[in-house]
Amino acid sequence: MNQTLNDPDDLHGLFPVAVQLVRQVVSIGDAGSLRRWLEGRVAQSNSRSGSLLHTGQITPGQHPVSDAIFSALLPRITEFGALLLGESKTWQIKEMWGNIMHNGGSQSLHNHANCIVSGIVYLTPTALVESRTVFVRALGGQDYKFGNEHAGIFANPFNASRWIAPEAAPGDVLLFPSYLLHEVPAQHEKPRCTLAFNAIPTRLESWGYGLSLHP
């Protein structure tokens, strides 16, 4: 029996956004080794949170674990990028840097420009909810101008304004489209340490037009 759009069972989630948690890209031991190395490479504090510290750019050849991460990430980025672009392309990691967030530190709402895939390599546990990445629905766009938000509603993928990433262990990687808005709440107790990175394909094609991308 054919269903129609009036059938309540015929519900379609149009144009889903891909976000992928990849488990154990590096071992817990290697994640700890890299975290200790990053703690000695802090270069500057965040302009909006003095308890959030960043390293400079991490390039191949600086640390054996970071080199292993570069190598392990590229196949995963290629697979994830194929979901976003519809074909397997050659990808490159445009930039990578470390983040260390101490007690009271937070990361304000932002996205990443001039790239297509972004990601987070977790180097410390995220058992506490406030240590997990939070994605936020973009303001405006095609949403209704009126809202219905209060303690009694049930959140689902069609009405939620925020999504908290699943718990990640040291060595896990979260991949997401670079345009997604995301933030990290204020931390409590233990420091939160991550690597962040951006990636681009070497070339995009669109109906006879091509664009070559280089870091």
* Rounded mean pLDDT for each run of 10 residues along the chain, 215 residues in total: 58 91 94 94 89 94 93 96 96 96 93 96 93 88 72 88 94 97 89 96 93 85
Asked whether residue 198 is domain-assigned, the answer is yes
HSE-CB for 29 with a 13 A CA cutoff: 1
Q: What pLDDT is attached to residue 146?
A: 76
One-letter amino acid identity for 13? G
Q: What pLDDT is attached to residue 43?
A: 85
Asked whether residue 91 is domain-assigned, the answer is yes
Asked whether residue 70 is domain-assigned, the answer is yes
Please state whether beta strands 91-101 and 192-201 pair in parallel, antiparallel, or not at all (unpaired): antiparallel
| Residue-range definition of the domain harbouring residue 103 | 20-204
The total domain count for the chain is: 1
Asked whether residue 5 is domain-assigned, the answer is no
Longest distance between any two alpha carbons in the chain, whole Å: 65
Collapsed DSSP state (helix, strand, coil) of residue 42? strand
Q: How many CB atoms neighbour CB 62 within 10 A?
A: 13
In order, the DSSP letters of 178-196 are: TTSEEEEPPP-SS-EEEEE
Asked whether residue 75 is domain-assigned, the answer is yes
DSSP E strands in 34-90: the ranges are: 42-45, 52-57
State the CATH number of the domain containing residue 182: 2.60.120.620
Q: What pLDDT is attached to residue 123?
A: 96
Q: What pLDDT is attached to residue 161?
A: 87
Asked whether residue 73 is domain-assigned, the answer is yes
On whether the CB atoms of residues 177 and 186 are closer than 8 A, the answer is: no
Predicted TM-score (pTM) of the model is 0.91
Measure the CA–CA gap between 215 and 211, rounded to whole angstroms.
13
Asked whether residue 140 is domain-assigned, the answer is yes
On whether the CB atoms of residues 101 and 63 are closer than 8 A, the answer is: no
Q: What pLDDT is attached to residue 170?
A: 96
Asked whether residue 45 is domain-assigned, the answer is yes
Radius of gyration of the chain (CA): 19
Q: What pLDDT is attached to residue 6?
A: 59
